[in-house]
Amino acid sequence: MPTNEYVVCILFAALSILGFFRGPLTLYGCGAATLGVLSNVANFSVPFLFCVFTIPATTVNVGSCITQSWIAWGLAYTKVESRDYLKLSIPFAYITSILLYILTALTVTGLGPEWFA
């Protein structure tokens, strides 16, 4: 596991699509185990870890994943096929995640574990 915050941002940006279907980057799924491992590898600040794990959970899982009830209801209501929806939502979620990781790298990195004191 990487110990540099910029490397974590690049790695999570590249793998942000793993937030779909409550994957290993989604705190609502098995991402809690990933968070436990990453938080014990280096002394990352809490705001940094919050941003790193909230981005795929929000943009990919909650905003685009068809396992969410409101998205499934919307697809049924509008009679849009899930395949067509995923063709549009996956690129949007991926690009949004990358932009948010760039913002995280520019604003939240470097706080260190003593950010609160």
Domain-embedded: residue 117: no
The count of structural domains within the chain is 1
Residue 11 lies in a domain: yes
| pLDDT tens for each residue of 63-82 | 888 888 888 899 999 999 98
Within a domain: residue 115?
Answer: no
Distance between CA atoms of residues 67 and 81, nearest Å: 14
The pLDDT value recorded for residue 31 is 80
Say what the pLDDT of residue 116 is: 63
Domain that holds residue 41: 5-107
Please indicate, yes or no, if residue 103 is contained in any of the structural domains.
yes
Q: Is residue 56 domain-resident?
A: yes
pLDDT digits (tens, 9 = 90+) for 33-49: 888 888 888 888 888 88
DSSP track, 76-93: HHHT--HHHHHHHHHHHH
Residue 113 lies in a domain: no
